[in-house]
Amino acid sequence: MLALRRVFIDGPARPDLVLLHFTAAPEEAKDRVIARASLVLTPTGKPRQREGRIFLPSPLPGRRFLVRYFYSTIGGGSEWFSPVYEVPVPCDEVAGDLVPMEETDSGNLPPAPGAGWFRLLLPARNGEPRTGTVRFGFGAMRKKPSPSLCRAAISVEGNLPVIEVPEALSVLKNRPMPFYLYHVAGENGLLVADKINCARLTLRDEEGSVVCARILWGDPTWNAQNFSAMEVKNFAAREGRASNYFFAGDREAFLRTRSEAIGAHPLPRTFEAFVFGPEGSVVEYCYQVLLRRPGGTVAAAWRNREGGNWSVTL
């Protein structure tokens, strides 16, 4: 596995949120996308600087991936999009920003078809070392789980690492089923299991002005942040799915198509999405929406609970 670091420098007007959107494909088959996601870039501690890491599988010997990426910001009631950049991985240009992550066998289990990934601050236990290597992996609960389930390793240097976890290994009746995150800290650490649960969150649109709705969510420290597209309940139109908005070639045309599609749903409309995390943990969240104005333009807005964010215990 590879972790590719990308950096964004804020302009004079600091945005509320910066996202990194990427696709990855084999260099020899650029249209065969193997990964696509939108990531929240978090402050680094340096003035105006934010960063995020793209996790990629290790390419076959002698092969590379072509990573296409662009940035978007939300602030001042509007969105901004950067040009699209592309870089082959690995290559000399990104050598200083590319970190290999050790894997055994075929690597960790992938998400179920149709499911994605989320970012999680490793749920370490008191007394576990904060330096060295942590191995982690996923699977069903077993009477005697084995450390061999932990097929990926990440370095720890004082701060707990942010890892990428599947949203689901299996889905039943459109609901992600629970599974377990396992990890072992240090060479002589014990195997630790965390049950990964989900919660369905909804946003009610009484007036019909919401075109797209998203959830910004994470643990209460906000060290691991996620940005999830919400979909209208029982939405069936493939062309106007909210998850395709950022990657649409013509976003204005996409929003027109989506507005027509969701207009067929009676008011009030319910947007829904899932959030994920260890059993018993708390997820904080707020909503970010695109609103259709009377004149036909679109505005970006936030919806927070008075006095802060909402929260849910998993």
Per-residue confidence band for 107, with pLDDT thresholds at 50, 70 and 90: confident
pLDDT tens sequence across 277-301:
999 999 999 999 999 988 888 999 9
Q: Which residue has the tokens 């596995």?
A: 1
Q: Is the pLDDT of residue 157 over 90?
A: no
Q: Is the pLDDT of residue 186 over 80?
A: yes
d(CA 224, CA 283): 11
pLDDT tens sequence across 14-29:
999 999 999 999 999 9
252 vs 167, 209, 230, CA distance in Å?
30, 16, 19
How confident is the model at residue 286, as a pLDDT? Answer: 97
What are the residue boundaries of the structural domains of the chain, listed by start? 2-100, 117-196, 199-313
Domain covering 199-313 in this structure, CATH number: 2.60.40
CATH class, domain 2-100, is mainly beta
Instruction: Assess whether the region 2-100 and the region 199-313 belong to the same CATH fold.
Output: yes
Per-residue confidence band for 69, with pLDDT thresholds at 50, 70 and 90: very high
Share of the chain above pLDDT 90, in %: 84
How confident is the model at residue 273, as a pLDDT? Answer: 97
3-state SS of the chain is CEEEEEEEECCCCCCCEEEEEEEEEECCCCCCCCEEEEEECEECCCCCEEEEEEEECCCCCCCCEEEEEEEEEEECCEEEECCCEEEEECCHHHHHHEEECCECCCCCCCCCCCCCEEEEECCCCCCCCCEEEEEEEEECCCCCCCHHHCCEEEEEECECCEEEEECCCCEECCEECCEEEEEEECCCCCCEEEEEEEEEEEEEECCCCEEEEEEEEECCCCCCEEEEEEEECCCCCCCCCHHHCCCCCCHHHHHHHHHHHHCCCCCCEEEEEEEEEECCCEEEEEEEEEEECCCCCEEEEEECECCECEEEEC
Determine the residue type at 206: E
Exposure letters 199-230 (e unless 16+ CB within 10 A, then b): eebebebeeeebbbbbbbbbbeeeebbbbbbb
d(CA 135, CA 130): 13
**Peptide bond before residue 90 is cis, with ω within 30 degrees of 0:** yes
